[in-house]
Amino acid sequence: MSLLRVQDLRKSFGGVQAVQGLSFELGAGELLALIGPNGAGKSTAFNMLGGQLRPDGGRVLLAGQDITGLAPRAIWRLGVGRTFQIAQTFASFSVLQGVQLALLAHDGRLRRWWQRAAGHRVRDALALLEQVGMQDQAHRPCGELAYGDVKRVELAVALAHAPRLLLMDEPTAGMAPAERLALMQLVQRLARERRMGVLFTEHSMDVVFGQADRVAVLVRGQLLAQGTPQAMRQDERVQAAYLGESFEREPALAAGPHPQGKDLYTSHGAGFSPLPSRERGRGERGQSESSAWFAPSPQPSPARGEGANQAPPVTPAPLGRGRGEGQPEPLLAVYRLNAWYGAAHILHGVSLQVGRGEVVALMGRNGAGKSTTLKSLAGLLGRTTGRVLWQGRPIHGLPAHRIARLGLGYVPEDRRIFTELTVRENLEVGRQGPRHWPDGAPAPHWTPAGLFALFPNLGEMPDRPGGQMSGGEQQMLSVARTLMGQPLLVLLDEPSEGVAPLIVQQLARTILALKAQGMGILLSEQNLALAQAVADRAYVLEKGQIVHEAPMAELARDARARQAYLGL
């Protein structure tokens, strides 16, 4: 008998059929990967299995017992563990306390408020943290952790209940390749030892094809195909709908970014659109199955005006922290930046710069300080020192809203959209007026119409609440909302996290389109292939310090540096 049996599961939101007749089985000790494009219905399926959503139809059987529609707590009590697409921990608790809280719940002692919990099963909690590689950070507040480390803690919390079925929604998001592999090898080993079934969804194909026993592919709420990893890798339908091609095989990106984007882009008035090397990824409906971020616009190019989104050719800033004679002033220059979370000193003398029309990658292992750097520059940390110049003007110490009003945009790693507001309302929240470049030339001016041309998926759902969107769609909205602030430079934190491989390729084109308009981009990214496709230069962080600086192409070729600094 199968551990988990899903029969004809269905769920709609208004007129949107999120999951349509989903059926599959999972055995004890087996790892099944449920993959598919953003918006395919994967998280909706997980939420029905975990009790967060009640199905419209169908059945969910756990070891033969019908658990359809039960409350999450009841399903958890029956032995179903869960990790989430957006990791959930108590930010003010220490890592150890978070796991102890899970053990208290497992032991039925959460309501014994009169008893001290600090000493509860400390050894067991530390053993769980050691399994996920977090024992050394046991006494650190969860709110200070890098996102990949939060994912590890969340796994330890799920394992505290000794589940017989573990549901993992994008478990390795925010982790470097070596960390992803180590974590999923651990999950695979535990699954075998405990006879624990694992259903996981993941956009990292090295994890999916390297660790899963079977793969099921969901597209538009329907099961497209299922089978062995090798069979799914070679399935033409799966390639067209989800996998796409690697950056190395994608002609337009493999050659590297054109200085002005002329090989990839043409102006269509409301926004820049790619000129794809070939038509691909189109299903029977005649529409892209990839939930594409944008597509060529059919209308002719209008006269220059609002929404034209054009810019003159630009000259990237020079390599290095200094500025050569006759070179333009960088948009952003950072000198000896230090930052703290409470008493923890995270950044140690970080110096970097980004010029107009330049994409700079900020790279490093998980927890190296990349997100902390971006948050510091955006004015979101309480304690920092150093010198930050925006177009030659000091901005260090300014509050976040004043920095944003100066034209420095920020796209956070965790998206932070307003879930109760619609797509259109989220965009209006970020609206600012037109801007000019330092030389007086008008900068690109973004309107909702222009952004809907850049992100057609958003244009199809302008009145949908943010909380009813997939993770990839929320990522699009987060970028679009930032562009409504008319930034001259964007701090972009892990944009490829949680998005499908085909969408990552389209994301690369989006970044190159923004670069072609003269926008500067400081990109924090674990995905070396994406960084290589779009970035001009790279800084590598390690333990809060810049340890390496090079042209991006040079770093990509330097196997020794990649292994030493990135673990690749």
For residue 171, the model assigns a pLDDT of 86
Burial 181-190 (b: 16+ CB within 10 A, else e): bebbebbbeb
For residue 245, the model assigns a pLDDT of 61
For residue 112, the model assigns a pLDDT of 60
pTM of the entire predicted model = 0.62
For the chain, the C-alpha Rg in angstroms (whole number) is 24
Positive or negative torsion for Cα 456, 461, 466, 470: negative
Two structure tokens written together for 64: 């033969």
Q: Which of 525, 529, 548, 500 is nearest to 34 (CA)?
A: 500
DSSP state, 563?
I
CB 225 within 8 A of CB 237: yes
For residue 247, the model assigns a pLDDT of 52
Fold classification of 264-314+329-566 (topology level): Rossmann fold (3.40.50)
Q: What is the CATH number of domain 4-243?
A: 3.40.50.300
CB atoms within 10 A of CB 1: 9
Alpha carbon 351 to chain centroid, angstroms:
25
Is there a shared CATH topology between the 4-243 domain and the 264-314+329-566 domain? yes
Question: What residue segments make up the domains of the chain, in order of their start?
Answer: 4-243, 264-314+329-566
For residue 396, the model assigns a pLDDT of 94
Alpha carbon 332 to chain centroid, angstroms:
24
One-letter amino acid for residue 358 of the chain:
E
β-strand pairing of 265-267 with 272-274: antiparallel
Alpha carbon 217 to chain centroid, angstroms:
20
Residue numbers in the chain where pLDDT is lower than 70:
1, 88, 111-116, 174, 244-327, 498, 567-568
For residue 429, the model assigns a pLDDT of 92
Rounded CA separation 356/334 (Å): 15
For residue 295, the model assigns a pLDDT of 32
